[in-house]
């Protein structure tokens, strides 16, 4: 095809460089291959990779505080919690505005739930305050302004007033509250010119005017109000909040809000390892609140135990299968695969029937008089039950790779070893076993990774001491709705599996894993 | 069959039978003994029972009946690892997870030999098969011929007195196989070990062995040195199986001493050497080697029988010519003639006359 004697790159028959011509020839092949896997690839990306990425992202995401209390967060940003017990006074109008809109949008309960993870009691605090914030005594301002001029009650006049830039500049808090108000009405599909003016807006108007802004050149109505404001009866917002719930005087509440104000937080991860983020920094939780460390250790311990018992039970079976004639081996293989034909739930429930104190095994032991009737064995709702049931359920995943690796080991190796003078045991241990290690490796990885994330079986037979970290994750997903913590726990679990995989690769070598 | 049962036999099979399924015998009444230092080959088609015999000797199969003795001791109940028999397997069975040196060291380790002694013996064994530089390699990094040498070295490294080889050269190409045949023979002779060698390749058997046992249908058909086996087959199976052979069928007319007169099915009458025909009227197969057929009348004795033959095919093979003839109704009658300057090259369709010495023509069982 090409002239090998010439200098420079090899050329194809038509003069193009051989490399390029080869690439062109292979491109079609590659495209075809890509097309073949494309449906699955897209399916996996959409239904697997993307949700996982989204879920993992939730473990650090913390938008809710900054989104629900934007102005409060801004004020708190400058607050040095070591210098004063409570945030500066500017907090109250800001918080009033935020709470007003949060209540309108019904977001305050969600925020309360979120912050309740960090400080117990915040949830009810927000719910109570949400109810109270609409009934604050701030209608005093409304009454006083409308007494001055009836037109203050007319929403259309507010719309016109807020279109004037000079007015907006003079009344910044009113303008900002008005913008949030109109934006809110916009999402509701209401017209600001027709909705009643809320107490909040009059409160902001009062606070703006009380600051004595330059009002010359503004509308007459504002000039009149500015002149009257110093003699207005005032409402203490702080007192209103304390009236709603006196916990607002608790500096701890404000510190928690401040600590969790950033949009990204390590809080969930710290929670997942029994630590917490406090205004003073990161610290361990009190001893009696630490559960996840124990759960992680227990999950790993039980997964290792299950993997080991699968090896012990599966190795001889795989050996028999691999050394039987094909026909018999196939028949027995069906028996090994039989559990796959039964629902996981049914198998686990069957173990429940077998293991419980009034169950089959205990009944037989009592009948055989091996166990006293009053002294029945406790075999479930503990680690023993979970290990027994899960070993049974995961056993095929150990036997299958072991079997397919053992099948490739010719029996002549054992014969050769024996003819060289090795006893049965030496021949097995020195010659056969090392060659079956790839099967053990593949089976162990499969069983261990399946076990570490198992959920249904420990949920049913595990009780309280036999549950896995996955059960806790499920609890946070479906019951406590703390998805951030669930995501953090899941991320840690994933990291642990990847770490163990890496360690395995370093020690045994991933090339040493064969599925057949 | 040569019954050389004697007290100095190193390995002996006595009335050994073997059945796997309880219905058919794979090995039927085997009697065989070989002295120390002999190179004995078990030759036969597949399924003839030769490998089963080897496995019984190695201890991987148990004899259903009869006794096998090694150096005077019955070994039926001795497990394989205590028999001290070296073995080379068909696919070498080198342990893939060990290096060459570890493979060789394995039989010494299980014998609890010291490290320095082991290294010494491994080195000597590797040098013996000219593989001294390959100790650190894995079997998968070696060529077929090299693996073969290592398998041989491993079977010899613990200095067994008896080595069994189960078609050890079957996986090699022709040239390498021929080279290894001489190599194995040389090593076996220099060490003075007793070798039982199983093969289905008759050339291999003839080249290497002191004696060859031809197996068929679970029995030894003939046990003899290669030259005897080739030149004086005792029955038609051996005659057919060893080398190329022409057969003509017919009926014995009369037997006078060393000469049997046979009337072939085509009507021709020839003289033969009676081997296992005893009386007139018996059907017989007459066997003649292709290279013993003479086409030049002048070289035959005047009273020799001559047969008419039609040339069907002439093949030029370099050192020899191979000519297929139609003789007495048999269209597969082959003769081989040396490529000599005066040799006639025949053309298909040509009619010629052929003949042979009566002693080269053996009347065997039908």
Residue A438 lies in a domain: yes
- For residues B266 and B151, membership in a common domain is answered with no
Cβ <8 Å between A422 and B110: yes
Q: Are residues B210 and B120 in the same domain?
A: yes
Cβ distance of B58 and A419 shorter than 8 Å: yes
Domain shared by B46 and B142, yes or no: yes
- Picking from B178, B206, B236, the residue at the C-terminal end of a domain is B236
Over the range A32-59, which residues count as b (16 or more CB within 10 Å of their CB) and which as e? Answer: eeeeeeeeeeeeeeeeeeeeeeebeebb
Nearest to A420 among B79, B97, B110 (CB): B110
* Same-domain status, A91 and A183: no
Tell me the CATH number at B290: 2.40.50.100
How close B46 gets to chain A, by Cα (Å)?
A: 19
A431 and A318, same structural domain?
Answer: yes
Of A14, A31, A58, the position where a domain reaches its end is: A58
* CATH number reported for the structural domain that contains residue A386 in this entry: 1.10.3720.10
Q: pLDDT tens, A152-193?
A: 888 888 888 888 888 888 888 899 999 999 999 999 888 888
Using CA atoms, how far apart are residues B141 and B31, in angstroms rounded to an integer? Answer: 43
| B98 and B218 part of one domain | yes
* ipTM rounded to 2 decimals: 0.82
On whether residue A90 sits in a domain, the answer given is yes
Q: Are residues A307 and A221 in the same domain?
A: no
Render A197-218 in DSSP notation, one character per residue.
Answer: PPHHHHHHHHHHHHT----TTS
Q: How far apart, in whole angstroms, are the C-alpha atoms of residue A74 and residue A88?
A: 12
Please tell me whether residues A389 and A433 are part of one structural domain.
yes
Total number of domains in chain A: 4
Q: Report the C-alpha gap between A291 and A32 in whole angstroms.
A: 52
Give yes or no: residues A5 and A78 share one domain.
no
Does residue B3 lie within any of the structural domains?
no
**pLDDT tens-digit series, residues A330-381:** 898 888 888 888 888 999 999 999 988 888 999 999 999 888 888 888 888 8
Q: Do B106 and A415 count as a contact with CB atoms less than 8 A apart?
A: no
What pLDDT was estimated at residue A16? Answer: 78
Of B202, B217, B236, which closes a domain? B236
Whether residue A79 sits in one domain with residue A48 = no
Smallest Cα distance from A424 to chain B, Å: 8
Mean per-residue pLDDT, B22-39: 90
The count of structural domains within chain B is 2
Same domain for A359 and A428, yes or no, is yes
Determine the residue among A325, A412, A414, A416 to mutate to test chain B binding: the one whose Cβ has the most chain B Cβ atoms within 10 Å: A416
Test the A interface: residue of B52, B62, B110, B111 with most A CBs within 10 Å: B110
* C-alpha–C-alpha distance, residues B203 and B242, integer Å: 8
Same domain? For B94 and B27 the reply is yes
CB contact under 8 A, A434 and B97: yes
Mean pLDDT of chain A: 88
Give the rounded percent of residues in chain A with a pLDDT score beyond 90.
Answer: 34
Q: Are residues B154 and B125 in the same domain?
A: yes
Task: Give the range of the structural domain holding residue A187, as residue numbers without chain letter.
Answer: 139-234
B232 lies in the same domain as B248: no
pLDDT at A445 over 70: yes
- Residue range B264-292: mean pLDDT, rounded: 87
Domain final position from B181, B212, B236: B236
Q: Do A415 and B97 touch (CB under 8 A)?
A: no
Q: Do A426 and B110 touch (CB under 8 A)?
A: yes
What is the predicted pLDDT for the residue at B2?
A: 41
Q: At B178, which CATH number? A: 3.40.50.300
- Pair B229, B123 in one domain: yes
Q: How far is CA A457 from CA A314, A350, A392, A447, in A?
A: 20, 11, 11, 14
Would the pLDDT of B39 be above 70? Answer: yes
What is chain B's Cα-based Rg?
Answer: 25
A270 belongs to a structural domain: no
Give the chain A residue whose CA is nearest to the CA of B153: A420
Domain span including residue B151: 11-236
B252–A contact, CB cutoff 8 A: no
Does B160 share its domain with B32? yes
Residue A277 lies in a domain: no
Cβ–Cβ < 8 Å for B304, B269: no
Give the C-alpha separation, A485 to A476, whole Å. 7
pLDDT digits 0-9 by tens, A58-105: 999 989 999 999 999 988 888 888 878 888 888 899 999 999 999 988
Tell me the three state secondary structure of residue B163.
strand
Shortest distance, CA B110 to any CA of chain A (angstroms): 6
- Is B5 within the bounds of a domain? no
Residues B53 and B161 in one domain: yes
Q: Does residue B4 carry a pLDDT above 70?
A: no
Indicate if the pLDDT at residue A3 is higher than 80: no
Q: A417: which 2 tokens?
A: 């070893």
Please state the φ and ψ torsions of residue A238, each to the nearest 5 degrees: -60, -45
B87, β-bridge pairs: B164
- Give the closest of A412, A422, A434 to B81, CB-based: A422
């Amino acid at each position: 095809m090409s002239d090998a004697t010439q200098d420079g790159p090899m050329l194809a028959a038509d003069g193009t460089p051989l490399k390029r011509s080869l690439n062109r020839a292979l491109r079609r092949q590659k495209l075809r291959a890509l097309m073949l896997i494309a449906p699955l690839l897209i399916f996996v990306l959409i239904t697997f990779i993307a949700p996982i990425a989204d879920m993992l992202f939730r473990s650090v995401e913390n938008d809710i505080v900054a989104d629900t209390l934007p102005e409060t967060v801004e004020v708190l940003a400058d607050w040095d919690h070591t210098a004063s017990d409570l945030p500066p006074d500017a907090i109250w109008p800001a918080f009033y505005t935020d709470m007003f809109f949060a209540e309108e949008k019904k977001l305050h309960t969600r925020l309360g739930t979120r912050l309740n993870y960090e400080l117990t009691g915040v949830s009810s605090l927000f719910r109570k305050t949400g109810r109270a914030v609409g009934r604050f005594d701030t209608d005093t301002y409304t009454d006083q302004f409308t007494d001055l001029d009836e037109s203050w009650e007319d929403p259309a006049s507010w719309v016109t007033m807020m279109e004037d830039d000079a007015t907006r500049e003079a009344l910044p808090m009113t303008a900002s509250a008005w913008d949030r108000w109109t934006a809110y009405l916009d999402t509701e599909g209401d017209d600001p010119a027709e909705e009643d003016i809320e107490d909040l807006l009059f409160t902001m108007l009062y606070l703006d005017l009380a600051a004595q802004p330059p009002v010359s050149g503004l509308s007459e109505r504002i000039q009149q109000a500015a002149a009257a404001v110093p003699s207005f009866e005032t409402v203490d917002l702080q007192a209103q909040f304390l009236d709603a719930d006196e916990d607002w005087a608790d500096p701890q509440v404000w510190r928690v809000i401040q600590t969790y104000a950033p949009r990204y937080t390590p809080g969930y991860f710290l929670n997942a390892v029994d630590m917490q983020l406090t205004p003073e920094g990161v610290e361990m939780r009190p001893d009696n609140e630490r559960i996840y460390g124990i759960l992680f250790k227990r999950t790993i311990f039980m997964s290792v135990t299950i993997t080991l018992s699968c090896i012990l039970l599966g190795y001889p079976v795989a050996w028999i299968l691999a050394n039987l004639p094909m026909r018999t081996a196939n028949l027995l293989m069906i028996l090994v695969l039989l559990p796959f034909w039964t629902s996981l739930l049914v198998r686990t429930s069957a173990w429940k029937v077998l293991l419980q104190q009034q169950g089959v095994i205990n009944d037989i032991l009592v009948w055989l008089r091996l166990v006293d009737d009053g002294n029945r064995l406790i075999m479930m709702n503990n680690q023993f039950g979970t290990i027994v049931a899960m070993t049974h359920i995961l056993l095929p995943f150990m036997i299958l790779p072991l079997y397919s690796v053992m099948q490739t080991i010719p029996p002549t190796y054992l014969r050769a070893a024996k003819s060289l003078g090795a006893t049965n045991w030496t021949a097995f241990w020195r010659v056969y076993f090392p060659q079956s290690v790839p099967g053990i490796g593949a089976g162990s990885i499969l069983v261990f990774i399946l076990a570490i994330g198992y959920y249904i079986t420990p949920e049913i037979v595990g009780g309280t001491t036999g549950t896995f970290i996955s059960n806790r994750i499920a609890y946070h997903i479906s019951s406590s709705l703390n998805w951030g913590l669930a995501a953090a726990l899941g991320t840690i679990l994933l990291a642990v599996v990847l770490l163990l995989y890496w360690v395995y690769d370093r020690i045994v070598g991933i090339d040493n894993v064969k599925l057949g | 069959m040569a019954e050389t049962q004697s007290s100095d036999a190193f390995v002996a099979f006595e009335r050994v039978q073997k059945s796997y399924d309880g219905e058919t015998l794979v090995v039927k009444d085997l009697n065989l003994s070989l002295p120390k230092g002999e190179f004995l080959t078990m030759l036969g088609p597949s399924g003839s029972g030769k490998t089963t015999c080897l496995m019984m000797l190695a201890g991987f199969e148990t004899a259903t009946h009869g006794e096998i003795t090694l150096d005077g001791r019955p070994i039926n109940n001795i497990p394989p690892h205590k028999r001290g028999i070296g073995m080379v397997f068909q696919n070498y069975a080198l342990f893939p997870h060990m290096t060459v040196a570890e493979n060789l060291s394995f039989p010494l380790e299980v014998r609890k030999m010291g490290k320095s002694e082991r290294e010494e013996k491994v080195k000597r064994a590797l040098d013996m098969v000219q593989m001294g530089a390959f100790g650190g390699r894995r079997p998968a990094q070696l060529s077929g011929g090299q693996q073969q040498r290592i398998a041989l070295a491993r079977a010899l490294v613990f200095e067994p007195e008896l080595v069994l080889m189960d078609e050890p050269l079957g996986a090699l190409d022709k040239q390498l196989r021929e080279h290894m045949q001489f190599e194995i023979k040389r090593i076996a002779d220099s060490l003075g070990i007793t070798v039982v060698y199983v093969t289905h390749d008759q050339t291999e058997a003839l080249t290497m062995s002191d004696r060859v046992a031809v197996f068929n249908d679970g029995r030894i058909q003939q046990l003899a040195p290669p030259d005897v086996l080739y030149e004086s087959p005792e029955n038609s199976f051996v005659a057919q199986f060893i080398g190329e052979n022409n057969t003509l069928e017919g009926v014995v007319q009369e037997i006078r001493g060393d000469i049997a007169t046979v009337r072939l099915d085509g009507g021709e009458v020839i003289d033969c050497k009676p081997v296992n025909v005893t009386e007139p009227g018996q059907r017989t197969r007459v066997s003649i080697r292709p290279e013993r057929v003479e086409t030049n009348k002048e070289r035959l004795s005047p009273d020799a029988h001559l047969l008419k033959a039609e040339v069907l095919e002439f093949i030029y093979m370099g050192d020899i010519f191979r000519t297929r003839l139609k003789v007495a109704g048999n269209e597969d009658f082959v003769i081989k003639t040396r490529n000599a300057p005066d040799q006639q090259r025949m053309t298909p369709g040509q009619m010629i006359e052929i003949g042979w010495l009566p002693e080269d023509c053996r009347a065997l069982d039908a």
